[in-house]
Chains A and B, each alone.
Chain A
């Protein structure tokens, strides 16, 4: 087949139309935390690894124990039974504990992935999950840069489990309120106030204040301030033990949804492009079929 100039033009136009979005992909603006945002601040230099928060999280969320040693509750990672965990780090540079749970991103990739808005930022900017909108596609797990949402692999009717800051029990439907103390179970029981709950802006200021007052004690980095566009859970670590060693991934400052969602909204802005393309193609189809009809051609698929 010879490609006519018109044909070549069509190929080019077709390609250009598709690629047009790629160039303006960074157009999506940065999201800010909602005005009523609350969060948590975990200070690794204050944590003594008692794991009271792990037990309290289980009780508050009715999650089963994970006794791998068969002696006591010793989860090895976050799972469908463990929405909050304390891990121990030991290296040449010293030892540290680290708490892990949902980071409650300001621009959460899980919520951007979720087709019917099962995952959403709800009250206080906290990311919660609604079972009645979840079909179990696990796109949230693919999307989350912290690998937080966990799937009940051994259930015929699986739920997604993750920390919901005790606004609702992990993996359940009840849209509860914070307990009578007005804070999540883990911060409530922490005997050293190594993890505290409060308004996001106050926590940010507090974290920066601690570093400023004790520059020898802390790494000069508040994890979560800028990572993936900011998270409502913030971390401090001891001088000499960078976050990457504690299992918190090194991430850029752009939110994960910025590229794909920016791309998508550019290509499908106002749904104009698909409708226009449909109109043009319908015209071309009509023309072709009329020609075939004239030629006595058989029509149909």
Chain B
């Protein structure tokens, strides 16, 4: 080939390639993507409740740490324990990173348990993390019953254990604790609000309760300090995190008799450990996902975040990053046998025999 033709080909090549070289890089990771835009947080809870406060605890920091500092607004879509909002996020929302789900904790569990009304696959959501994931449960009885040891607790038949509704974490957690502690024919009475259970305990309408120790002791510190309640065992979620002031309580897994029961506890702990996850619909571009994950990590590491969040929600911060949360969800046991066993605890029948 002569030099002239080579030069011509080079010119043609350059003429074609040059525009491609000077086109700006439309990366989602740069500041321009979110600048001037609005990010909508779809909260799967009602306005004004605990779930709303958790979202409001995060929203200002999302604005702060997202490049471009977009406006962050909240849209409410409560119903069905979070199913309605999760269905919407999965099926109707454009995966462009401008709509983020602020889901309630039950969203993953409801799907794994195969509940009705679930129209999403929890494994296909993209998780950005959660601001809290520690969700212990502790069981306690009225001190006037005199059940100050596990032997006495096991010997007492027909203890009336209060809870909110069938399938609620207080109910299922209570049944799990009663099962592992070999309580005799416990009676689970639901239909109470959280506060009503406390009152029913004090006026002797109920004998026992399973509850988050943080909530219980925030509301009634004298129950521990003055021995108004006897505290029996704790179901830690995650397992390795202790609850200060109740470190002396036996962890429920010490009572597990076989691998099946340990798998059951792992299922429950992981489901509880999901916390209140922030989620993206499937198909969101990787660059956007990375931008949002980075922003969430910055939020959780922001020294101003924890005091602000704890003030707003009256809960302690215990964040999980996107990767940690995704790992936790993937590790939730899905075998039919364990799920069927957990469903027995979430349902109304008598407790299974050990």
Do chains A and B interact in one complex? no
Residues of A within 8 A of B (CB): none
Residues of B within 8 A of A (CB): none
